[in-house]
Chains A and B, each alone.
Chain A
Amino acid sequence: MTQTKKTKQEILKLSVPSCLKYIRPIQMFIGQLAQQLGFCRTRIYDIELIIDEVCSNAIEHGSETPDSGIDLTLTFDSSRLEIHVRDKGKSVRKNWLATGRLDEVSQKMTPDSERGHGIFLAEKLSDSLEILTNPLGGTDVQVIFYFSTSSGS
């Protein structure tokens, strides 16, 4: 009989001001966590890059002021690392990545576009990307990285 080892799911929560200067420390913290969890170097690079892209979008497009803040929830166990980033939206543009908006950005994007690549990098480099609107009028971006994928864990 094969016995499946149950591992406890752990959750970490971070709330930071909506300031770009905090992204690098957040990246470094999550990179260290990913290393501790056993992800390989390339995967850690991808995770850190996605943190940069998703958090900078949440700050630039989903935060009214620096005090608006963004919330990160990291959930992990022996099979995966899930990162959830929540912004509260802007009064002039609620849910900046609402359904349809991603397609709109995608259609406009070309290799020589200066902006709009970040969310697509997140989609390409993660194992799962989900974008949802939240009750605060903001956007939730959830990315998941599984261990033992083709990219190596």
Chain B
Amino acid sequence: MANGSMTTRESADAKIIDVNEDLGSYAAADLRKTIDTLIDGASQKIIVNLSEVQHINSTAIGAMVGSAKRLRTNGGDLKVYGLAANLKRTFDLVGASSVLEIYDSESSALAAF
């Protein structure tokens, strides 16, 4: 499934969103829509691949935090991987590193479910 510069694929029983554009305010809405579509389709395990993302803003991070909270109420979760140093710093500054599970690789994110 593709939504703008985001594609969704399946690995094991998780859905993986590959983000292929920077996540500013405009693209953050696409990310939220993509995640919402997966959750509405009963997906419980979602992984967001940020390895191609150079910039992220607080709206995009907030969308992932909100979705993780929503999934956790039903036993699911949203995990992220592939953060460049600048992105990790932004996650740390808004406190999202303490809320979201962040991994170095897709395999480690998958193994954590």
Contact = CB atoms under 8 A, between A and B. Distances in A.
Chain A interface category by residue count = 20 to 34
A52 B62 contact: no
A20 interface: yes
B95 A56 contact: no
Interface size class of B (residues with CB under 8 A): 20 to 34
A111 B24 CA distance: 19
Contacts of A53: 57-58
Interface centre among B25, B26, B55, B65 (most CB of A within 10 A): B25
Interface of B: 22, 24-26, 29, 55, 57-59, 61-63, 65-66, 69, 86, 90, 93-96, 98-99
Contact of A118 (B26, B55, B57, B69): B57
Interface string A2-38: 0000000000000000001101100100000000000
A48 B87 CA distance: 13
Interface of A: 20-21, 23-24, 27, 42, 45, 48-49, 52-53, 55-56, 59-60, 110-115, 117-118, 120-121, 124-125
